[in-house]
Amino acid sequence: MALASLDLDFDDGLKHEGAVDSILLRCPCRVRLFRAFMDESCSCRIHDWFLVLSRQAVEILDISGFLTLPSSVFTCGRLTSLHLSYCAVPMLPRGFKGLPELRNLSLRRVDLQEHGQYQLEEIIATSPLLEELTLQDVNIPGEFKQRVIQGPNLGSLHLHSLDDHGWDLGDLPRLDSAVIDICDYLGNRDFSKFLSGLASLTELQISTYHQPLNGANIRETLPCTFINLKA
């Protein structure tokens, strides 16, 4: 009896790249999940692996490791979940058409390329089904620019950053819960305006060292109330 799909989990490290080649290139069934911790020793093979995974319509991609990923990671257009950790994220490939089925995007301690805000904004904007977004300690080099997080189906948002990367909240009609760990995130911007983008939430957790200008009470300056909050 043939397998309908296959989950490949190399979370303890890829010690035998040849085994991955054998499975991906010879196994006729679809790979549903591919999870791996990689390092530079895999750099000569991962481009081909991503191309094969793209053809096999991989749904869940969970990659961590200290290396620069090839742009072919974004050719996996059937992804529903993309988790990248500790790696350098490449620029989007030419002709990038988005991730139309992506529902969960998690970037943790990754390095984006110069002006990476634009590519991240494009990924979010071209993922209309995105429901969960986590940006934790994402390094974005280059000049500060204000960018917008928005999405018609985004319901859960987790932002953690030591620095202000210019993120503002746009149209988020289904946003229900958020964890915002912002430290000095909005040191020179309107913090109450930022909070007003979270007015409809039922769950909200905020950690910040923000100091209001002129000793103002943030609650008194808010243009909204959080009437839906339950936690």
Sign of the CA dihedral 66, 70, 71, 72? negative
Tell me: do 21 and 124 sit in the same domain. Answer: no
- Per residue in 138-188, pLDDT (tens digit) is 988 876 667 788 899 999 999 888 776 777 888 889 999 999 887 655 556
**Res 221 pLDDT > 80:** no
pLDDT band at 201 (very low <50, low <70, confident <90, very high): confident
DSSP H stretches of helix in the chain: 17-26, 46-55, 116-125, 191-196, 218-221
Q: Provide the strand spans (E) within the chain.
A: 5-10, 30-38, 60-65, 81-85, 104-108, 132-136, 147-149, 156-160, 167-169, 177-183, 203-208
Q: What is the largest CA-CA distance in the chain?
A: 71
Task: Enumerate the β-bridge partners of residue 148.
Answer: 168
Does residue 86 form part of some domain?
A: no
Distance CA 156, CA 132 (A): 5
**Residue 1: per-residue pLDDT:** 44
Q: Give me 44's structure tokens.
A: 């000569």
Task: Report the length, in residues, of the chain.
Answer: 231
- Per residue in 32-89, pLDDT (tens digit) is 999 988 888 788 888 999 999 999 999 999 999 999 999 999 999 999 999 999 999 9
Examine the fold and report which residue of 47, 81, 115 is the final residue of a domain before the chain moves on.
Answer: 81
Does residue 146 form part of some domain?
A: yes
pLDDT band at 103 (very low <50, low <70, confident <90, very high): very high
**Residue 222: per-residue pLDDT:** 58
Tell me: do 95 and 71 sit in the same domain. Answer: no
Tell me: do 169 and 221 sit in the same domain. Answer: yes
Q: Domain residues for 208?
A: 91-231
Tell me: do 231 and 148 sit in the same domain. Answer: yes
Examine the fold and report which residue of 53, 81, 109 is the final residue of a domain before the chain moves on.
Answer: 81
Tell me: do 61 and 162 sit in the same domain. Answer: no
Q: Which helix (H) or strand (E) holds 151?
A: none
Tell me: do 136 and 213 sit in the same domain. Answer: yes
Total domains in the chain come to: 2
Tell me: do 209 and 103 sit in the same domain. Answer: yes
Examine the fold and report which residue of 50, 81, 112 is the final residue of a domain before the chain moves on.
Answer: 81
Tell me: do 75 and 103 sit in the same domain. Answer: no
CB hemisphere CA count around 22 (13 angstroms): 4
Distance CA 40, CA 42 (A): 5
**Residue 213: per-residue pLDDT:** 53
Number of neighbours of residue 6 by Cβ within 10 angstroms: 17
Tell me: do 99 and 7 sit in the same domain. Answer: no
Contact 11, 33 (CB under 8 A): no
Q: What is the mean pLDDT of residues 115-132?
A: 89
Q: What is the mean pLDDT of residues 183-196?
A: 64
Q: Give whole-number Cα distances, 4 to 29, 56, 62, 154, in Å.
A: 6, 12, 21, 31
pTM equals 0.87
Tell me: do 146 and 226 sit in the same domain. Answer: yes
Q: Give whole-number Cα distances, 209 to 55, 173, 181, 185, in Å.
A: 47, 28, 9, 9
